[in-house]
């Protein structure tokens, strides 16, 4: 059957309650891939946040940090689970490198997120018997990074990327795809193609649509 992955994903997202987590844990390429492979995470993108410089970019970041924005479905993966993964998957106490570009950073969107961040941090400090120096601050703005930074590892496989891009009206829509997020993790050796196909079978889409997307993945030329 003819398919349009973007349309299928949009229908999958209908009536879902979504939340967003923004964080920095070093160079943003690997964290985007790492979190993008998680079931329950529906979109990822990388960008610059946490500072005051207007219109930051990679060459003139100012006091911003490389960050990842993760959009997720709390019924499938909780905010607390994502925070624990954040703290378990990097060293939050390493010395600052390149000023603020690579610091350990959590940015909260509201008071509830702040409360949960601080509570999980205290729990982990008690478990580890040491302080955690991650900066926790309000999110004032998020500037999306340049296109070549988005889904960085997946784009190294040009033929597969070109095939996938045919399913989307433009590059930005491709960047915000759950399929692109999963495959960006897969090529970084986070997760497997089999696990992605199994997850798709559980999506709130028709059986024919799931089979068609699975076939699309099988037909990718790496």
The model's pTM = 0.95
Neighbours of 121 (CB within 10 A): 19
The single residue listed with the structure tokens 């509830």 is: 112
For 120-179, write each residue's pLDDT tens digit. 999 999 999 999 999 999 999 999 999 999 999 999 999 999 999 999 999 999 999 999
* Residue 36 dihedral angles phi and psi, to the nearest 5°: -65, -20
Candidate list 3, 12, 13, 27, residue with the active-site label: 27
Q: How many domains does the chain have?
A: 1
Q: Are 152 and 32 in contact (CB under 8 A)?
A: yes
- Residue 57 tokens read as 């970019």
Q: Is the pLDDT of residue 1 over 70?
A: no
Cα 186 to Cα 109: distance, rounded to the nearest angstrom = 29
* 161: CATH: 3.30.1060.10
Phi-psi region of 55 (alpha: psi -120 to 50; beta: other; left: phi over 0): left
Domain with 13, as residue range(s), is 1-222
Please indicate whether residue 27 is annotated as part of the active site. yes
Q: How far apart are CA 28 and CA 145, in angstroms?
A: 10
Q: Is the pLDDT of residue 181 over 80?
A: yes
Strand partners, 45: 69
């Amino acid at each position: 059957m003819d398919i349009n992955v973007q349309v299928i994903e949009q229908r999958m997202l209908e009536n879902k309650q979504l939340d967003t987590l923004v964080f920095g844990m070093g160079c943003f390429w690997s964290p985007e891939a790492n979190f993008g492979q998680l079931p329950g995470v529906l979109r990822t993108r990388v960008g610059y946040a946490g500072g005051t410089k207007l219109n930051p970019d990679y060459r003139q970041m100012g006091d911003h940090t490389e960050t990842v924005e993760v959009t997720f479905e709390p019924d499938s993966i909780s905010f607390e689970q994502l925070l624990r993964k954040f703290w378990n998957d990097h060293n939050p106490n390493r010395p600052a490198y390149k000023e603020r570009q690579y610091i350990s950073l959590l940015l909260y969107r509201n008071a509830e997120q702040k409360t949960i961040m601080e509570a999980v941090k205290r729990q982990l400090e008690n478990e580890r018997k040491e302080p955690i120096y991650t900066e926790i601050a309000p999110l004032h703005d998020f500037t999306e990074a340049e296109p070549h930074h988005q889904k960085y590892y997946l784009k190294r496989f040009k033929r597969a990327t070109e095939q996938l891009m045919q399913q989307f009206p433009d590059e930005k829509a491709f960047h915000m795809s759950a399929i692109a997020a999963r495959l960006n993790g897969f090529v970084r050796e986070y997760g497997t193609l089999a696990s992605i196909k199994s997850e798709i079978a559980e999506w709130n889409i028709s059986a024919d649509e799931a089979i068609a997307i699975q076939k699309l993945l099988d037909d990718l030329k790496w």
